[in-house]
A = this chain, B = another copy of it.
């Protein structure tokens, strides 16, 4: 019977005749016997195929090379070897696809930088088998969480003429021939595909709000883009984002939901990617599982921005960036708050309006807005959200103040005129979550094919 390797770990198949397909991770040859370790990616752990010189194909089998694709036939038996429950007593092996001798993944340690250069092969090594499996498992956790709670999944547009964050870091998308633009000396948007200037979305929030006002609760989960020249470990030009939007919900309801959501994902990943998490715990971030398990039980702190600054000022810590009322909170501040002061995730609310986006609800003090950032120990800001401004006049005023082109955004304003609600939402960068879940520090190592300034390979 043809089986995925995962099935061997899920069911008791000892004693059965099986066919297993996969790739050779290792081949230890002895004079009289040999061990071929085969993985197929359906389970983190490989299966050992054992053979000896009583096998009539012994010499042929010994030629099987690292990296090649094979199909092994044999009986699954209890393994006498330590560290594995079972092994396949190999009767026959077929070579599905050979592997050339210049195979880059020789059995030695490779730097992550080197593996990035062969991004098309790296999902075959342990680290990336774990990371990209967890990426898939965490995606499922997210869809399942929302689906089970009556959220509707909305595909907000990627191509857009709206700069949702008002930050002006959009890539432009065009069907114009740039060489012709250069030679003709003018940009003729009438001839461009959409008849106007269009870019790649930086958020789906505004469109998400429109659907939330029809389905009560919605979420997006799709790619977003930032044309920001920022070469850090945590910035990519293309990344996936999750943006729930909830009507009839204020900032407190939002924080409750964020806590519940994060705990759900952690729990789901720990349960559904056990072997992967154990590997990462052992080889990538010590005590990763403990760090995550703690979150399941600890209360999340909730403080105002003003209090956060006060805590930082009173800390007697030497910060490179001096904490200051009315100003942003930097990475070192986040670290102090989550890892030293509270030793837990922290919601920071009521941010100065000048450093936050136009759509956030103005508080009664008229200086702060109902924004909320969730900071987590070891990864800093994980979710950024707010209660949205539902009052038309205040929204218009804020858009003017922040120079948002509100003339073309009547549809967004109209949401406040036609059955508007108290509503809230947040955005979570999916890769930021993965960095937190896997302990892998560089965003380039949690995206299949990372895009950063100057880098768009494959």
Contacts and interface: CB of A to CB of B under 8 A. Distances in A.
A260 to B, nearest CB: 16
A185 interface: yes
The 5 lowest CB-CB distance pairs between A and B, nearest first, are A41-B215, A123-B214, A97-B420, A194-B456, A120-B210
A231 interface: no
Given A69-B419, A69-B421, A154-B132, A215 B248 contact: no
Contact of A193 (B128, B135, B171, B422): B171
A284 interface: no
A291 B207 CA distance: 34
B159 A123 contact: no
A114 interface: no
Contact of A24 (B69, B96, B419): B419
Interface stretch (A173-181, A334-342, A356-364, A378-386): A173-181
B175 A171 contact: yes
A41 B152 contact: yes
Contacts of A352: none
Given A97-B420, A216-B21, A187 B193 contact: no
A455 interface: yes
A136 B161 contact: no
Contacts of A140: 143, 147, 153
Given A183-B185, A422-B96, A124 B214 contact: yes
Nearest to A189: B178
A67 interface: yes
A69 B414 CA distance: 14
Interface in A73-108: 96-100, 103, 105
Contacts of A96: 248, 419-422
Interface stretch (A27-35, A316-324, A325-333, A445-453): A445-453
Interface in A355-404: 390
A123 B152 CA distance: 11
Nearest to A104: B418
Interface stretch (A47-55, A195-203, A299-307): A195-203
B103 A418 contact: yes
Contacts of A129: 214-215
A275 to B, nearest CB: 14
Contacts of A207: 120, 448-449, 458
A455 B71 CA distance: 51
Contact of A41 (B176, B216, B420): B216
Given A196-B456, A222-B222, A155 B173 contact: no
